[in-house]
Amino acid sequence: QHRLVVVDVDTKPSSGNRAGDELMAKLCEEHDYQPHTWNQKSPHGYHIFYKVTEEDFSRLGTDTKVTYDGIKYDVDIRANNGLIFVYPTKYELNGQQHKYLWDQNRKYDDIDNLEIMPDWMVNVFSKEPRRIIPQRPFGEPETPIEEIHTLCSMIDDKHWDDRSTWVKLGTAMKSANDSEECAHLFDHHSRGIKPKYKPGEPLRLWRSFDTTRVSKGTLMYFARKSSPLKYFEHFRNYRN
């Protein structure tokens, strides 16, 4: 059985917070993801409707102003004990009564027809991330080491040099291929820049990386951001 969760996104910043759509755009790009579920406009932005398991429903709760990478965004989560105002059944405009009629071709009146919230999104929005073994889509194998090495080689040194991004890159590598060989590849790329990280640190941290928060899409995002021409040329040849 699933429960309803609504992500309330504001498109304009408020006092001390960044606009919520900045965070959603960042997450979608980092995880190479686009929502395919019901959404509605709201007075200050939009609402995205998901279904989640009972376990995740209780973990999400109701949070206001989500914090990500130390920055607060105008994104509110409405789940357990949450309340949100959505389209009314009727309203008055210019002295006349109007009401919404349900389009029977849009079958989102049933929670089962909503998209299930991705695991990485649940963990971003939850105050108690669930430790899970990442599940790849059915039939999708581990990413070959050669492919990961190619993507890593496209990424600017400045991203490897930034510790926060460096951890994300290592976690994305582990999400794509959780093997000893890939761990040593992470160590190789960490040592390929100026000696900022201590000897053995990349391999030691590899074991603690939480792949429920970061996906292979993060690696692709930084490769595309750093070397867009090489990135698109590579994938054009890869698909051919």
Average pLDDT of the segment spanning 218-238 = 86
pLDDT tens digits along 143-173: 999 999 999 999 998 899 888 889 889 999 9
Percent of the chain whose pLDDT exceeds 90: 26
131 has pLDDT over 60 = no
Highest mean pLDDT among 98-102, 183-187, 206-210: 183-187
The residues with which 77 forms a beta bridge, in sequence order, are 7, 63
Least confident of 120-129, 132-141, 150-159, 212-221: 132-141
- For residue 99, give the 3-state DSSP assignment: strand
- For residue 10, give the 3-state DSSP assignment: strand
Which residue stretches of 31-162 are H helix? 54-60, 119-125, 145-154, 157-161
Least confident of 64-73, 172-181, 186-195: 186-195
| Distance (Å, whole) CA 205 – CA 110 | 43
Average pLDDT of the segment spanning 9-23 = 89
42 has pLDDT over 50 = yes
| Distance (Å, whole) CA 215 – CA 162 | 19
User: Can you give the pLDDT at residue 135?
Assistant: 45
Average pLDDT of the segment spanning 73-98 = 77
239 has pLDDT over 70 = no
Average pLDDT of the segment spanning 123-152 = 70
Average pLDDT of the segment spanning 83-88 = 70
Q: Are 20 and 10 in contact (CB under 8 A)?
A: yes
Residue 210 CB partners (closer than 8 Å, separation 6+): 123, 129, 131, 171
Which residue's entry shows tokens 């376990």?
Answer: 55
Regarding predicted confidence, which is higher, 90 or 14? 14
At 237, the pLDDT band (50, 70, 90 cuts) reads low
Pairing of strands 2-10, 62-63: unpaired
